[in-house]
């Protein structure tokens, strides 16, 4: 990739700081993703047809350009291709229901005697369409913004969608061996799919990312388990931990997406897994977000040896820096303007030196 990006002129410095973050190096301040609004073209309206909203390449590219032109990406924020939820259309040939706010995978089998061919059906038209689309988006984005891995649901979340969540939960008891067998096949497929996208996106030379504004010099993965909200600790150990251990071993840098209070009882186990480097906590809709509401949880993640991704207000940044070692801290915040963001980054250096005096200069 070009040493500069249109929407990220300090791209070399951004990559240097991300590399230090993943290596666990302590620099003059934590890794910080700071955004600010700027004057730009209006965002194009979403197409009335929900399918076009997620799959029309002309619209997706136009939207990305307008979005990036209306924001300042400061600190380590990475402008990246968005709206790549079309990857969910590649779910073993299941029918995708396009909605204005998401894509829903509809159940596609009613019994374990009539399932998709889990060995082969991952390589379907939805998968090939995704790869064709990524090629077009990547070609347009070169020198402008970054294209990371599209959001790919892991096997433990794909299978409940294919089966139906309620039926799947019953099957965990009645068809435990079959579920474990299928999940093992799907894990191998998942790695194969990632490898194909790695080559297509030239990630070994350009770097790795995801739907987050992240960058990594090495193989990066963001595992999750939405179904875990409904699982006991014992079931989590039986059905989810083997997936995490196997998939995390295939990647160098891993940040776990922990979503919803129903999954919090799995946090202690996640902190024990060596393959997980950091944890993103998402409280869920209708619940308070951010540092003030979840300070103890973010500190627990850090004290558990993982990097903590802390969203906070600009006025809270010094308090966050004081509480968590800079090498285990990823801050995301928004400010009113570019100058405010640049000043916040300068202040973060001073706060880091004040609260962590052993920190070396960058």
**DSSP class per residue in 84-112:** -GGGGGGSTTPPEEE-SS-EEEPP--SST
| 3-class SS of residue 251 | coil
DSSP per-residue string spanning 2-47: -SSBTTBTTHHHHHHHHHHHHHT---SS-EEEEEEE---PPPPPPP
Distances (CA, A) of 278 to 31, 215, 257: 13, 14, 9
Among 32, 7, 21, which Cα is nearest to 277's?
21
Is 356 a residue whose pLDDT tops 60?
Answer: yes
Tokens found for residue 126: 């939805």
Q: How far is 125 from 356, CA to CA, in rounded Å?
A: 53
* Contact predicate 27/56, CB 8 Å: no
Residue 192 backbone phi and psi in degrees, to 5: -60, -40
pLDDT one-digit tens code per residue, 242-283: 999 999 999 999 999 999 999 999 999 999 999 999 999 999
Residue 3 has what pLDDT?
A: 76
Q: 291-298: long-range contacts (C-beta < 8 A, 24 or more apart)?
A: 291/316, 291/319, 291/320, 292/316, 295/323, 297/264, 297/267, 298/323, 298/324
Q: How far is 234 from 223, CA to CA, in rounded Å?
A: 19
* Contact predicate 28/362, CB 8 Å: yes
User: Mean pLDDT, to the nearest integer, of 94-122?
Assistant: 95
Residue 297 has what pLDDT?
A: 98
Among 138, 131, 139, 148, which Cα is nearest to 86's?
131
Residue 307 binned pLDDT confidence (cut-offs 50, 70, 90):
very high
β-sheet with 31-37: strand ranges across:
71-75, 31-37, 329-334, 307-311, 278-282, 253-259, 220-221
User: Mean pLDDT, to the nearest integer, of 140-144?
Assistant: 96
Sign of dihedral through CA atoms 246, 247, 248, 251? positive
Task: Work out the number of other CB atoms within 10 angstroms of the CB of residue 230.
Answer: 15
Residue with tokens 């990823």: 330
Residue with tokens 């993703």: 33
- Domains assigned to the chain: 11-355 (3.20.20.210)
Residue with tokens 């991300």: 18
Among 218, 223, 233, which Cα is nearest to 264's?
233
Residue 360 binned pLDDT confidence (cut-offs 50, 70, 90):
low
Residue 235 has what pLDDT?
A: 98
Rounded to the nearest integer, the mean pLDDT of the chain is 96
Residue with tokens 């197409």: 47
pLDDT one-digit tens code per residue, 51-92: 999 999 999 999 999 999 999 999 999 999 998 999 988 899
């Amino acid at each position: 990739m070009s040493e500069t990006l249109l929407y990220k002129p300090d791209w070399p410095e951004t990559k240097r700081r991300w590399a230090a973050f993943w290596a666990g190096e302590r620099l003059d301040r934590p890794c910080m993703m700071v955004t600010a609004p700027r004057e730009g073209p209006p965002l194009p309206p979403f197409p009335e047809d929900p399918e076009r909203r997620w799959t029309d390449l002309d619209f997706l590219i136009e939207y990305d350009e307008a979005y990036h032109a209306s924001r300042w990406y400061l600190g380590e924020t990475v402008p990246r291709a968005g709206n790549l939820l079309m990857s969910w259309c590649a779910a073993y040939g299941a029918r995708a229901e396009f909605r204005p706010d998401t894509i829903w995978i509809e159940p596609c089998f009613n019994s374990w005697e009539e399932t998709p061919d889990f060995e082969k059906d991952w390589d379907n038209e939805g998968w090939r369409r995704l790869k064709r689309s990524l090629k077009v988006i990547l070609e347009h984005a070169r020198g402008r913004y970054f294209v990371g891995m599209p959001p790919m649901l892991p096997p433990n979340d794909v299978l409940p969608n294919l089966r139906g969540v309620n039926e799947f939960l019953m099957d965990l008891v009645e068809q435990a061996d079959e579920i474990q067998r299928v999940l093992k096949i799907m894990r191998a497929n998942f790695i194969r799919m990632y490898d194909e996208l790695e080559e297509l996106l030239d990630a070994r030379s350009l770097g790795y990312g995801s739907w987050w504004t992240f960058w990594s010099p090495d193989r990066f993965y963001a595992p999750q388990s939405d179904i875990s909200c409904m699982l006991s600790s014992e079931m989590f150990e039986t059905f989810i931990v083997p997936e995490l251990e196997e998939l995390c071993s295939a990647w160098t840098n891993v940040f776990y997406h922990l979503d919803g209070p129903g999954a919090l009882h799995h946090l202690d186990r996640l902190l024990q897994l060596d393959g997980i480097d950091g944890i993103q906590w998402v409280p869920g809709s209708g619940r308070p977000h951010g540092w003030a509401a979840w300070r103890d949880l973010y500190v627990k993640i850090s004290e558990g040896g993982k990097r903590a991704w802390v969203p906070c207000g600009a006025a809270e940044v010094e308090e966050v820096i004081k509480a968590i070692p800079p090498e285990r801290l990823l801050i995301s915040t928004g400010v009113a303007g570019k100058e405010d963001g640049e000043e916040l980054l300068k202040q973060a250096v001073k706060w880091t030196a004040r609260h962590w005096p052993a920190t070396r200069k960058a």
